[in-house]
Amino acid sequence: MPALAVAGALRAEGAQVAFVGGERAEAELVPAAGYELHGIRVAGLDRRNPLLAARAALLAARALLVSVRLLRRLRVDAVMGGGGYVAGPVGLAAVLLRKPLVLTEADSHLGIANRLLAPFARRVCLAFPLAGRTGERYRVTGRPVPAPATDRAAARARFGLAPDETVVLVFGGSLGARSINHAAIDAFADAPYRVLHAAGARDFATLSAPGPRYDLREYVHEFGEALLAADLVVARSGGSIFEVAAHGRPAILIPYPAAAADHQTANARWMVDGGAAVVIADAELTAERLRTEVDALLADRDRLATMAAASAALARPDAAREIADELLAAAGAGRTAR
């Protein structure tokens, strides 16, 4: 999603954009957005299993050869790495071909691919300030997100919500978050407010809405409108917190405890320090605790409004354009060098 936001900013400036990706969400989202997608086979590095690690290394080597041929064929002027393991071989191909490389990091730590490629990048665009990542090479831009929805009345109408209803939005990513899914359904079974819950693909078939005021869905495609329609968000604290901030929404965050380098806890701390969120540790999440926290916030409208203003203050609405500008400058410098 951050890459699509940058691609939109690039396309607005007349640039041609192509994606290289694997078989995850990009396989559906990129073509749907009108961009060509070139697939490569890669896998994450499993440090606990030598056989899987060896397989991942072999796939990466093959992907590097494919990426070199692809970048030559496309005659690219610059390459952006999105931070995942797909970016590793493509970014290295850019380095080998002496194509300008711009990296983006959406989390509160550099992933493996970005750590390896950072010394060769023209610029590394960070979602958060990171200790030790300073100087001319690094720039804090925030995480690119789609342009936020702005028509709250229309957003509410899309989900069948009345203008005066209180609404809680619950989500946990495309696959969902099992602990949040079960806690929320138990917590809000008899809630006096409306609940819009995007449960994700993994658990949806096993869940059922506890009542007519509970809108349970596998996925919410109009995510920005769902955020705008809500009064309070209950969610994990991955990269989506930047979309929460872009819509100025207060949040109760439950960091995923197994996230790499515990970055979701750091993400949540950023929101808490900014006054925009309350955190519940996943190990402490129960239906009773969740209901208590939500009811307390909804009952204190002054605090909720203060948190909403703090959330909006954390937003970085120009992130996609700033990264696009870096790529366009890199492309221009690359052409001049040739």
Residue 21: the pLDDT is 84
Contact 54, 74 (CB under 8 A): no
Report the range of poorest mean pLDDT among 4-13, 50-59, 123-132: 50-59
Residue 337: the pLDDT is 60
Judge whether residue 144 has pLDDT over 90.
yes
Residue with tokens 């970014």: 91
Right CATH for 152-314 from 3.30.479.10, 3.40.718.10, 3.40.50.2000, 3.10.20.70: 3.40.50.2000
Q: If you average pLDDT over every residue of the chain, what do you get?
A: 91
CA atoms within 13 A on the CB side of 58: 6
Residue with tokens 């696959």: 175
Phi, psi of 235 (to 5 degrees): -160, 170
For the chain, what is the largest distance between any 2 Cα atoms, rounded to a whole number of angstroms? 66
Cβ atoms within 10 Å of 235's Cβ, excluding its own: 25
What average pLDDT does range 43-58 have in this prediction? 70
Q: Pairing mode, if any, of strands 123-126 and 138-140?
A: parallel
Cβ atoms within 10 Å of 203's Cβ, excluding its own: 17
Residue 325: the pLDDT is 97
What average pLDDT does range 133-154 have in this prediction? 93
> How far apart (Å, rounded) are the C-alpha atoms in residues 197 and 124?
35
Residue 46: the pLDDT is 63
Domain 152-314 in the same topology as domain 2-146+317-337: yes
**181 Cα distance to chain centroid:** 19
* pLDDT confidence bin for 47, thresholds 50/70/90: low
Residue 174: the pLDDT is 66
Report the range of poorest mean pLDDT among 17-26, 27-36, 230-239: 17-26
What average pLDDT does range 24-32 have in this prediction? 82
Q: Extract the tokens encoding 336.
A: 């001049």
> How far apart (Å, rounded) are the C-alpha atoms in residues 48 and 126?
29
Closest by Cα among 240, 273, 243 to 255: 240
Judge whether residue 326 has pLDDT over 90.
yes
The DSSP element (H or E) to which 268 belongs, if any, is helix 263-273
Residue 169: the pLDDT is 98
Contact 52, 46 (CB under 8 A): yes
Q: For residue 119, what are the contacts with CB-CB under 8 A and spacing of at least 6?
A: none
> How far apart (Å, rounded) are the C-alpha atoms in residues 115 and 233?
32
Residues 65-94 pLDDT 10s? 999 999 999 999 999 998 777 888 999 999
* pLDDT confidence bin for 261, thresholds 50/70/90: confident
The DSSP element (H or E) to which 28 belongs, if any, is helix 26-32
User: What fold is seen in the domain 2-146+317-337?
Assistant: Rossmann fold (3.40.50)
| DSSP codes of every residue in 132-161 | T--STTEEE-----PPPP--HHHHHHHTT-
The β-bridge partners of 125 are 104, 139
Residue with tokens 């071909």: 97
Judge whether residue 44 has pLDDT over 90.
no
Identify the DSSP state of 83: S
Domain ranges across the chain: 2-146+317-337, 152-314
Phi, psi of 244 (to 5 degrees): -60, -45
Q: For residue 336, what are the contacts with CB-CB under 8 A and spacing of at least 6?
A: none
Residues 166-207 pLDDT 10s? 999 999 876 668 999 999 999 999 999 999 999 998 899 999
